Amino acid sequence: MGIVSPGFQGRPRPAGPALPPGQYLTEDFPVLSAGPTPTVSPQDWEFVLATETGAEYRWSWPELMALPQETPTVDIHCVTRWSKRDTSWQGVSLDTLLDGVDTAAGYAVAHSYGGYSTNLPLTDLRDGRAWIAHTYEGRPLPAEHGGPARLLVPHLYFWKSAKWVRGIRLTTTDEPGFWETAGYHDYGDPWREQRYAGD
């Protein structure tokens, strides 16, 4: 039991659970982008899951929409230090997409329209922790936030949640992506503050 009364603190305590170290809360949704926003219409959109043996699994937009949909509400954490609570999404779990995919790969690389890429262990895409998200706060995901669909992996820094995702390639070796080859951490766990290579 504490002996210091919270009533003596100068500021109100932030509501909810703690944030990862070094993060601050924001109410808006900052747009970060390393290049021009790709224009991809749903009718042209395709998602390709490729295994380490070259086998490919493809989904068109109607096929993605026909899969079981989930509605995660999650906190997101950007490596530039903003965090946003209780963001609500709709999308398809990677568990659904990986179901029946025969692979011995340990790693995955997400690729985007526009050329972006990011890597993560395949295990981080499983067990209800990753989605292909197409709806944000009840509306189609805006292009500046990665629409028509983005990867959503909220337990890692948000650069891992690739905008404009077009496919995931499963690999037996770790292949660092766009920011991971330029000084950012290979894994990017916000709770361990893994911002930069060597953290």
Partner 1 sequence: MTETSYLDGNMLDGPLRELFAVDLSAATARCQTCGRAGPVGGLRVYSHAPGLVARCPACTAVLLRLVRTPDRAWLDLRGATFLAVPVPPERAGPPPG
Of 179, 198, 182, the C-alpha closest to 33 is: 179
Residues forming beta bridges with residue 49, ordered by sequence position: 57, 168
Nearer to partner 1, 6 or 198 (CB): 198
| Chain contacts with partner 1 (rule: CB under 8 A) | 30-37, 39, 79-80, 115, 142-144, 159, 179, 181-184, 195-197
Paired tokens of 102: 């025969």
Q: How far is the CB of 164 from partner 1 (least distance, A)?
A: 12
Residues forming beta bridges with residue 108, ordered by sequence position: 120, 170
Nearer to partner 1, 136 or 179 (CB): 179
According to DSSP, the β-strands at 139-140 and 131-136 are antiparallel
Q: How far is the CB of 105 from partner 1 (least distance, A)?
A: 25
Q: How far is the CB of 95 from partner 1 (least distance, A)?
A: 28
Nearer to partner 1, 73 or 80 (CB): 80
Angle at 36 between CA 46 and CA 156, to 5 degrees: 70
Q: Counting every residue, how long is the chain?
A: 199
Q: How far is the CB of 114 from partner 1 (least distance, A)?
A: 8
Angle at 114 between CA 187 and CA 128, to 5 degrees: 40
Nearer to partner 1, 59 or 179 (CB): 179
